[in-house]
Structure 1
Amino acid sequence: MKSSDSMRDAVIEFIYEEARLLDEKRFDEWYERFATGGVYWMPMVPGQSDAANHASLMYEDLVMLRLRIERLKQPHAHSQQPASRCLHVLQRPFVNLPEEGGEEIYRAHTPMIYSETRGGEQWIYAATASHELVLENGDLRILKKRVELLNCDAPLPAIQIFL
């Protein structure tokens, strides 16, 4: 088992690398970072605590994530003409390590700015990404990623790439 400082550093590096994979459209590699049963959630209401019983901007299990990734990879996808590009600018993640004897879940909260451009248009969003990470075969994996947009309850255009 790694020391708490080295695990904290590993979680931070994992989150930075995840953002880089998305910025570089390396969606298959990003998908592989999800744990068995992993989910990606973007709430529709600030502070929303329940994804199952309330509408969300996105709530995708591994099957839905795979479908979205396959669509993004299609060269003739209508919503990707021209193709989107994105950039994540992350603040250093705040990491909470598991308590001794508790669940082995590493939690991190990362304030960020996300920019997406397609053609002559650009969209900029402020958000906080919350990760719940677990160790699978010694590697960190995403059990749940929740991205709460600062203005999640406002009318929004279609967000094409994952935040």
Structure 2
Amino acid sequence: MKPDRIVDFIYDEVAALDEMRWEDWLSLFHEEGRYWMPLEWKQQDPIMQPSLMYEDRLLLTVRVERLAGERTFSQKPKSRCHHLLERPRILSLGEGDGVCKARTSFVYTETRGDQLERYSGWVSHHLVEENGALRIKLKRIDLINFDAPFGNLQLFI
């Protein structure tokens, strides 16, 4: 696996989010993919320890359908987001287990009406190849201020 392919995948993923192409973004997930936002620093277990979010493909699909729905009144006006990323750091090219790993520092901004929220941290991607395409097996978001009180995150970091 070439590192540039992984980097391009990560940039394309956040472009889909920033452009509100929810179905395109969801299609990047492996059938067993997970979206995880830990509640503790260096948390290792999303099942036995509480998390801010730990969503499988079904829950992600429900959220995407809600965001795309015309009768989602909590999204009037619609939320918008912007991801600012450092260049992803490649941690593994999948030697041995087939899982490519990358970690990316980010600043994420979400806005709706006159409300503006900003979050910073690191995103870890675990990617696998499936039928010639990369798919997200795990997207882990470690917020720098994970222990702060949060409003409602409407979109996806």
Unpaired runs of at least 5, structure 2: none
Matched, 1:150 2:144: yes
Query: Partners of 1:150 and 1:76 in 2: how far apart?
Result: 34
Deviations 1:100-158 (A, max 9, x none): 4x101100000000000000110111021000000001111100000111111111001
Selected match of 2:24 from 19, 23, 29: 29
Query: Partners of 2:40 and 2:74 in 1: how far apart?
Result: 25
**Amino acid paired to 1:54:** Q
Deviations 1:33-78 (A, max 9, x none): 1112001001111211110111111110000000000011112323
The alignment-based identity, stated in percent, is: 43
Equivalence for 2:36: 41
What does 1:10-159 align with in structure 2 at a 5 Å threshold?
A: 10-98=5-93, 100=95, 102-159=96-153
Query: Partners of 2:154 and 2:129 in 1: how far apart?
Result: 29
The alpha carbon displacement at 1:99 in A equals: 5.8
Query: Partners of 1:64 and 1:35 in 2: how far apart?
Result: 13
CA contact (8 A) 2:94 2:101 kept: no
The alpha carbon displacement at 1:79 in A equals: 2.3
Query: Partners of 1:111 and 1:36 in 2: how far apart?
Result: 26
Q: Secondary structure at the match of 1:58?
A: strand
- Runs of 4+ more than 4 Å apart: none
TM-score (norm 2): 0.96
CA contact (8 A) 1:8 1:97 kept: no
Q: Secondary structure at the match of 2:4?
A: helix
**Amino acid paired to 1:91:** E
TM-score (norm 1): 0.93
**Amino acid paired to 1:18:** E
Query: Partners of 2:70 and 2:146 in 1: how far apart?
Result: 29
